[in-house]
Structure 1
Amino acid sequence: MAARRRRSPARARRGRLAALAVGIGVAPAAVVILLAACLPAALHPAEPEGEPLPPVSSRWADTPPPALAVAGADPARAPAVDLVDAEWASRVAAATGIPRRAVIAYAAADLTVAHEQPSCAIGWNTLAGIGWVESRHGSYGGSRLDESGLVTPRILGPRLDGDGVAAIADTDGGDLDGDDRWDRAVGPLQFIPETWRRWGADGDADGTRDPNHIDDAALAAARYLCRSGPMATETAWRDAVFTYNPLTRYIDDVATRANEYAQMAPAG
């Protein structure tokens, strides 16, 4: 997503709801209830009418030069920082402006899913596009991504209390989002607690699954997107990202940003 089309929670400061979630306002109530139980995000603004779509070339993400793996590293066991070539990560970070620690998380998730589901073809840049739209790679609202991969303070979406957003009663006793009455989207990739319960991952191999940790969140997002099969065509890619947020502009914004990252990234 280009900076001029920012769709993060910052929209709320300009009187618009954030692009974080389920398609409230564009889907029937029954569909909203169904999606709310399985999508990473939880609300979005009404889709604008009459605005032209980006060029076709920006409507899905090409796969960039592959992430470089550390020779001999096992994607089934190694933590993210041990999977990705450090020099490659530094060069991609310098070229794209993505924080180096986020590059490692997105690339490691790409490598892990390529090992688990070779046909998925998700591409680290797709995860980076989503990471930008959802939280500016963990930097929204003054939060910071540290070298361990943890985002602090936590990034929380609005309370899903039905007041202009989906009504999702608490599903985790406030354990993840600090709210024991209503759910809130959590972390750099904005997972609601129930979705994290189903898809939460341990990308840093520390024995815990934390949506506030970018390694865990990126791997969970990759598996979530790949669950329906290969993403190697425009239709398949858009269908997958649609499940993350069923809004045309959101999908186009992710594609635009992901394509920019692919073009900027240096060859292996």
Structure 2
Amino acid sequence: MPARRHLWIFIVAGAGVLVLALLVFLALRPLAAGPGAEDALPQPTWASPAAAPVSAAAPTAPGVAGLVDADWLAQTASSTGIPARALAAYAGVALSKAVEMPACGLAWNTLAAIGFAESRHGTHGGSEIGPDGTATPGIYGIALDGSSTDHIPDSDAGAVDGDAEYDRAVGPMQLIPQTWRNWHVDANADGAEDPQNIDDATLASANYLCRASGDMAAESGWHSGIAAYNSDPAYAVTIAEAGSRYRSQAQ
């Protein structure tokens, strides 16, 4: 009996040690590696330029959207998931700026990332981008009353944003009235300047970014431009991730 008792105690003790070792291993494994750590990729710190869009042999439509080759547009819209009409604005503006201001180096994938972050390419709140590039219904941000945003009192008597008390960001690229006043432009050649039009809004945004950055093709210049657009560090992370994803998907 004593021998059997000692054997039983030894077996129980040994099993306890194994269970304890297993628990320690499971507890320490996430600290050492983390789930899927071996497959983790470093997060992008900025959105380096994607390859330039292919220019149309002849304009396919008035304004910047007509500058883009139809086959490139269809293929890239399919591979990135960006709506073709929005992508035509981003790519057309990039082609336009490459001629007008080549030193800026602003790429379509950064413009697309901003359009994604600001309005999901003009689809926020059920809006749609029409064939002429205009968002319907119009897209309006929250009042910039200082409660959870910068405090920006009305600057346009509500003419652009419909709010005579506080400014609101408007359109697919979410430009505040002051920015639109400084950079307004007719990019779709319809004779009107409209921040709700994705061509007009994207070219206005590009003009602003190029002025703020100097060189959007360099990491430091890219960060200067994005910080001028929105100074929240989390915003730069969002743009870097989306812009890098679009560059990769378009390859």
TM-score over 0.5 for the pair: yes
Distance 2:224 2:151 in 1: 25
Matched, 1:224 2:224: no
Deviation at 1:142, TM superposition (A): 1.1
Are the counterparts in 1 of residues 65 and 91 from structure 2 also a CA contact under 8 Å? no
Aligned position for 2:16: none
Q: When the two structures are aligned, how many residues end up with a matched partner? A: 210
Aligned position for 2:49: 63
Query: Where do 1:241-252 residues align within 5 Å?
Result: 241-252=226-237
Kindly provide the CA deviation profile for residues 74-126 of structure 1, in whole angstroms up to 9, marking residues without a partner as x.
Answer: xxxx5023211111111111000000001100001101111111111110000
Structure 2 residue matching 1:134: 3-state secondary structure: helix
Distance 1:182 1:84, change over 3 A: same
What 5-or-longer segments of structure 1 have no aligned partner? Answer: 1-53
What 5-or-longer segments of structure 2 have no aligned partner? Answer: 1-39
Equivalent AA in structure 2 for residue 244 of structure 1: Y
Distance 1:55 1:178 in 2: 44
What TM-score results when the alignment is normalised by the length of structure 2? 0.79
Aligned position for 1:237: 222
Distance 1:132 1:100 in 2: 13
Please tell me the root mean square deviation across aligned C-alpha atoms, in Å.
1.8
Query: How high is the sequence identity, in percent, across the aligned residues?
Result: 45
Distance 1:56 1:247 in 2: 21
Distance 1:56 1:196 in 2: 36
Deviation >3 Å, runs of 4+? 54-57
1:179 to 163, 166, 169: 163
Aligned position for 2:241: 256
Higher helix share: 2
Aligned position for 1:19: none
Distance 1:162 1:224 in 2: 24
Distance 1:90 1:72, change over 3 A: closer
2:79 to 70, 95, 99: 95
Higher Cα radius of gyration: 2
Aligned position for 1:154: 138
